[in-house]
Structure 1
Amino acid sequence: MAQTFRNSGSRPIYVSLEPIAARYRIEPASELILRYDDEIPQDEHNSTLRVEIVERQGGPEIIIWTCAASLFLPDGREAIEDHGV
């Protein structure tokens, strides 16, 4: 499964992956693609992903909560903490 985030705005957008504490910055006119294991376990609400959008001082932040043990970038590298995109 893949998920694409595109920043069409004029300010960076931050994407945080929880509970693994990975954080990405998407610059204007850029995108971030994350790949998930096809068999992500579900949470107590039968959801594989929960997405929250919050406003921070630096701009909007998208928080993705998942039960997956790890997430991957398109090139197959594991999504790691504080990786700038």
Structure 2
Amino acid sequence: MPGQCKRKNRQEAAQRRRDATPGHWEPLFSTQDQAEFRDRVRRLYEEGVATADQLRLDTFCGRLVHPTTYRVSIFVPEARS
């Protein structure tokens, strides 16, 4: 698939940067509405709250009993003393 190698390299580089910085992922919000999820992520980028490598976008696939859930987490580096 075209562009797959570039995307994979970009994701691996972002992961290496996060691994070099100690910290943890903190959930920002969770929703079951995909449109609300996309809107909130777009606003986070526009407001400059976080960059693409600071956000983790999770989609928990739904089944009959549990609906699909979307969650956005932000990487919070540990405070240096």
Higher strand share: 1
TM-score (norm 1): 0.33
Q: Which of structures 1 and 2 has the bigger CA Rg?
A: 2
